[in-house]
Amino acid sequence: MMSRASQWASRFFAVQTDLSHRRLLLSAASALVTVGLVAWVSQFSLSGRDLPFMVASVGASAVLLFVIPSSTLSSPWAFAGGHLVSVIVGVSCAQWIPYLPLAMAMAVGLSILAMFYLRCLHPPGGAIGLLAVVGGEPIQKLGYQFVLTPVMLNVVIMLGCAMIYWRLAKISPQRSTGNSLGLDHDWQRGNEEWLEDDVPFRPEDLSHAMADMDTFLDISHHNLNEIYARALHQSHKHALRGLRCGEIMSQPVISVEYGTELASAWLLFEKHNIRGMPVVDSFRRVQGIITVKDFVRIASKGQVKDDAGLIEMLNEELDEKRSMAQRLVDLRQRTPGFESSKPEVVGQLMTAPVILAQVNDFIADLMPLFSQNTIHHMPIVDDSKKLVGILTREDIMSALEGKTI
């Protein structure tokens, strides 16, 4: 057990971040360059004691932008909007409220309200608003020009440097996801649950839980979900350690060939209750994969690519008002004659190239490929590259359930 002294010390010297040394050095170097540029530009508008205060606020923003860019306080809108809204409020208070203490209080209070309701809360913004009131004679003479130079100019410089840093560090402050579809009348199905995305609560539940705390949480819903997902993913990797594809893959494999008609492929989907099949040649080597999603993609978007590489619109022959189920029926129906403006065989619809795995590959190593590439099926081949099985998300979930029983 930890001693009382060590517990006390851990409260004051707790690890604040798990960033790598390379990332920390890149953050510091980016902040150094950015603050240097801002200080150099600001000196043309400000001088004397006002310049250090201006740069001090910029230094606070640099910590947010370059050290904790995933924070909701560090988003591009929070940074830019927080500064510009606050400086406008500050200049207005300086212009219209002659009593300095009241002007200072109003500048900060109104800046907080404006940033909060405009969803651009950025702590250094409050400092900029205050500087507009307590700044020296150069700032007072600038009036609303202070909003443009140096504040807006500094915001542009810092945001540009931050975006370069985010690109170098491979940081994406905000992200979102999409959905997948199913068979005929079940084609409008929502997101398929999957390992790290299998969150046991709805987004609404998370919103209510955060609201019940009635405090400012410096983390987005997306980041909370991602933390949970990554922890669950690590748990699954630990549970599946040592398990190989050959132990849990589905076999024998239902497969089709390039020339298989779409109607025949669809019948196999329904007969075997599956959603995807490998497309193989006469030697059982995998050429691609055909899924229900491929059918829905063409039927919904109406884009057809024939062997000549021409893109045509399927919706020219399909009534926009008809249901998706009817569109899928029309897509599968064979076109009479020798010419067609839509796919007629599996090879024209399949996804290629396809991600493959070998019998002796470890399941834990393959799990990220499913999510990163948004796939549901992974054909398994032997040493001679011939199809011997298929690994699906359901196979992995069944293995996990077996491990946890």
Span 126-139, pLDDT tens digits: 999 999 999 878 88
Preceding omega of 353 cis (within 30 degrees of 0)? yes
Return the pLDDT at 310: 36
Using DSSP, state whether 177 is helix, strand or coil: coil
Has this prediction a pTM greater than 0.85? no
**Measured in whole angstroms, how far is the alpha carbon of residue 114 from the centre of its chain?**
28
Return the pLDDT at 6: 59
**Average pLDDT score over residue span 260-277:** 92
**Average pLDDT score over residue span 270-288:** 92
Return the pLDDT at 131: 92
> In angstroms, rounded to a whole number, what is the distance separating the alpha carbons of residues 42 and 54?
8
* Amino acid in position 23: R
> In angstroms, rounded to a whole number, what is the distance separating the alpha carbons of residues 300 and 289?
19
400: Cβ–Cβ under 8 A, 6 or more apart, which residues? Answer: 195, 236, 239, 240
Residue 235 has pLDDT above 90, yes or no: no
Q: Where are the domains of the chain?
A: 17-168
